[in-house]
Amino acid sequence: MGLNVSANDVKEVDALFRRYYKPLRAYAFRFVNDWIAAEDIVQDVFFELWTRRGSIRFNEAVSSYLFKAVYSRSINFIKSNLQNNNCSLNERNECNILDQYIEDHMQNQERSLLLDELEAEIKNFVESLPAQCQKIFILSRNYHLKNHEIANQLSISVKAVEKQITKALSELKLHLRKKGLLFFLFLFNI
């Protein structure tokens, strides 16, 4: 049985992994409240993506597939943990497990709310930037364009792009520090 692996397949899956690994890991963590389990879930999803690469069109939006797969695997992880724990423990311990699960779920919900607040604050900040700086920041952070690609698209110098991105990031950090949200920026690896 020969493996048909093209350099293009490797390049496309690698680019997806680099782009989506951290957001998917944070997304899985929201559900499972365990960084190691979240990493395992995301790695499993990418392994499945790799094995199914022949049936996936990389030129279409793959992100929704990735997030749905991480969601499904996270839910399955939670169910599996509950079933494994319930099978071998008495009723009293089962109540403790359920209490722990509810507490973990509430903590995840709290983290989710904090992440939503952080994302909303970043969005508000970006909308307050001057028009040119806003365009550059969005093209860099949301569309993952390189500085020279942004410069070409906007007909400006690469130095101007770098200056605007540096300025926006510096002001964003100050803004988040004032709002008491800077710590969460690093916590969620955004």
61: containing domain = 1-88
The reply to whether 136 and 62 lie within a common domain is no
The reply to whether 116 and 81 lie within a common domain is no
Q: Lowest-pLDDT range, 49-63, 131-145, 164-178?
A: 49-63
Q: Which two tokens stand for residue 47?
A: 């392994």
Indicate the DSSP class of residue 6: -
Write the pLDDT tens digit of every residue in 16-40: 888 888 888 988 888 888 889 999 9
pTM of this structure: 0.43
Indicate the DSSP class of residue 60: S
What are the Cα distances from residue 75, in Å, to 38, 56, 59, 92?
11, 23, 28, 24
Write the pLDDT tens digit of every residue in 66-109: 888 888 898 888 887 766 655 444 544 555 555 565 556 555 65
The reply to whether 4 and 43 lie within a common domain is yes
CATH number at residue 166: 1.10.10.10
Q: Which amino acid belongs to residue 40?
A: D
The reply to whether 83 and 3 lie within a common domain is yes
